[in-house]
Amino acid sequence: MSEYQALRQLFETGEARVAFAERAEPVPGDLRLAWRLVVLCLILDRSHGGKASMQAAHVLWWAIRSPRSRRLFLRWHKQEQDPDELLVRFDPSLTATMDLAIGAGLIAVDSNVNLVLLPAGKQLAVDAWAARGVLDVEKSFLDALPRRITQKSIRELLEWK
Mind listing the pLDDT tens digit for each residue in 21-49?
Answer: 666 676 565 567 888 999 999 999 998 88
Among residues 52, 148, 34, 29, the alpha carbon closest in space to that of 107 is found at 52
Q: Residues 67, 86, 40, 127: what is their CA dihedral angle, to the nearest 10 degrees?
A: 40
Evaluate if residue 80 carries a pLDDT over 90: no
Angle between helices 92-103 and 33-46 (to 10 degrees): 80
Query: What is the number of alpha carbons within 13 Å of residue 119 lying toward its C-beta?
Result: 0
Domain layout of the chain by residue ranges: 28-158
User: Measured between alpha carbons, how far is 1 from 82 in angstroms, rounded to an integer?
Assistant: 61
Question: Can you tell me the mean pLDDT for 145-161?
Answer: 71
Count other Cβ atoms within 10 Å, centred on residue 36: 21
Query: Quick one: pLDDT at residue 103?
Result: 94
pTM above 0.85, yes or no: no
Query: Quick one: pLDDT at residue 150?
Result: 66
User: Measured between alpha carbons, how far is 123 from 73 in angstroms, rounded to an integer?
Assistant: 27
Per residue in 88-136, pLDDT (tens digit) is: 677 788 999 999 999 999 999 999 989 999 999 999 999 999 998 889 9
**What residues contact residue 97 under an 8 Å CB cut-off, 6+ apart?**
33, 36, 37, 40
Band of the pLDDT at 84, cuts 50, 70, 90?
low
